[in-house]
Amino acid sequence: MSVLKGILKDSAEYYKRVEKEINAKLSSLPRGSVKSRKISGKTYYYLQFRKGKKVVQKYLGKAAPLELSKQLKERRNLEEQLKKVKDSAKMLKKINK
């Protein structure tokens, strides 16, 4: 039984460590999404995100922001991973009781 408890403890520590790593990566990535608007036949790009209850749009320019889009996609993937890690840690906590 002590072997099983050791494994559960190691797993819980692993999920805590992974959660910290993901949160550190998330803090360096931008939030929101890229929105485009057509004005007078020209396309303009904006970064749209929430700041409290307000929706803020930051002008990005006329060129498609490929690097920013890549970073936003990476953020969404990391947020999905974080959700899975939190669910797994929660399940381990229930098992360990």
Question: Regarding predicted confidence, which is higher, 60 or 3?
Answer: 60
What are the tens digits of pLDDT across the range 24-67? 999 999 999 999 999 999 999 999 999 999 999 999 999 999 99
- Residue whose pair of structure tokens reads 């498609």 in the numeric block: 64
Q: Nearest-CA neighbor of 47 among 55, 76, 23? A: 55
Average pLDDT value for residue range 68-97: 91
- Is the pLDDT score of 94 beyond 70? yes
Reference 6, options 96, 86, 97; nearest CA is 96
Distance in angstroms (rounded) separating the CA atoms of residues 1 and 9: 12
User: What residue numbers bound the domain in which 78 lies?
Assistant: 2-96
The pLDDT of residue 1: 63
HEC string of 51-66 equals: ECCEEEEEEEECCCCH
Query: Could you tell me if 24 and 81 are in contact, meaning their C-beta atoms sit under 8 angstroms apart?
Result: no
pLDDT score of 21 = 96
Give the total number of structural domains in the chain: 1
pLDDT interval class at 79 (50, 70, 90): very high
Structure confidence at residue 10 (pLDDT): 86
Contact predicate 79/26, CB 8 Å: yes
- Which has more confidence, 9 or 54? 54
Q: What is the pTM of this model?
A: 0.80
